[in-house]
Amino acid sequence: MSLLAVSSVVPLTPRMVRMTFTGDGLADVGTWPDQQLKLLFPKPGGSALVSSSADVSVWYQAYLAIPESERPWMRSFTVRSLVDGVLTVDFVLHGTDGPASAWAASARVGDVIGRFGPSPDYARPLGTADLLVLAGDETALPAIASLLELLPASQRRLAFVEVADPLEEQAIPGVRWVHRSAGEDLVSVVTSAEVAGSVWVWLGGEASAVRALRRHFVSLGVSKKDIEFAGYWRRSLTQDDAPTADDLAEAQERIAALSE
């Protein structure tokens, strides 16, 4: 675990801001598809530093040992890019209800947060198939954009991203934007798309939408091992809340898919 210092802040859309960070150890981290990491945001008067251990069990026990009033808020993010020791992360701004969004809305160059990861222990290769389908909401957009950049021009792909309205679109070729302002939703649009041949699927975003889409592709005959999925957030719940029965079932499905 180490600290990150903000080196730039650039608004991308009305609801998304891009930040770059520098920090010890970043130059030694490799790159792979869909890199995940934990960011830690200090509470007022507290610190973002937890432990220097790279062992996840040791680090997490040290995190839990911090009194709750001082324990930094921890949230999961996807790396937008990591080049020459500079980490880029895109933040969705959704008001001041969440600690990450509240921090990002007022972050300035020089501000410091903590990080744990990304770890190569969780690296998964990009799938191979006739058709790659990527789908998610704005929280999954950084991952989808980075995955699209890895694909050769000859690779058939379908990419769907649900956002609030057209102002939230970014200059990412090949994306089918799904606008909530127009009454669209990700599940309806994706399940209406025609897919054929061998298919590999990547899904991210709100947990119930991810589960619905995964069931859809399984029903089409896509093997569970060819579906990467992650519920990034839960409606009316935060990462601090206890897992629901659906969350636990999703975790079991992910474990089962990895063992197939």
Kindly report the pTM of this predicted structure: 0.88
Q: Which amino acid type is present at position 46?
A: G
Q: Bigger pLDDT: 198 or 256? A: 198
Least confidently predicted of 160-174, 205-219, 228-242: 228-242
pLDDT value at position 212?
97
pLDDT value at position 10?
98
> What residue spans define the domains of the chain?
2-118, 124-259
pLDDT value at position 23?
96
pLDDT value at position 252?
63
Over the stretch 202-223, which tens digit does the pLDDT of each residue have? 999 999 999 999 999 999 999 9
Q: Are 74 and 113 in contact (CB under 8 A)?
A: no
pLDDT value at position 53?
75
Same topology, domains 2-118 and 124-259? Answer is no
Q: Any idea what DSSP says for residue 103?
A: H
pLDDT value at position 119?
87
For 124-259, which CATH class?
alpha beta
Q: Please report the sign of the dihedral spanned by the C-alpha atoms of residue 80, residue 56, residue 137, residue 73.
A: negative
Q: How many CB atoms lie within 10 A of CB 106?
A: 9
Q: Which amino acid type is present at position 101?
A: S
The distance of Cα 73 from the centroid of its chain, to the nearest Å, equals 17
Percent of residues, the chain, with pLDDT higher than 70: 90
Least confidently predicted of 8-12, 14-18, 248-252: 248-252
pLDDT value at position 144?
97
pLDDT at 58 over 80: yes
Q: Taking Cα atoms as reference points, which of 84, 99, 80 lies closest to residue 37?
A: 80
pLDDT at 241 over 70: no
The mean of the pLDDT values for the chain is 90
pLDDT at 243 over 60: no
- In DSSP terms, which residues pair with 176 in a beta bridge? 160
- In DSSP terms, which residues pair with 37 in a beta bridge? 77
pLDDT at 27 over 70: yes
User: Which two three-digit tokens encode residue 140?
Assistant: 């999954």
Could you please state the CATH topology (level 3) that the domain comprising 2-118 is classified under: Elongation Factor Tu (Ef-tu); domain 3 (2.40.30)
pLDDT value at position 66?
92
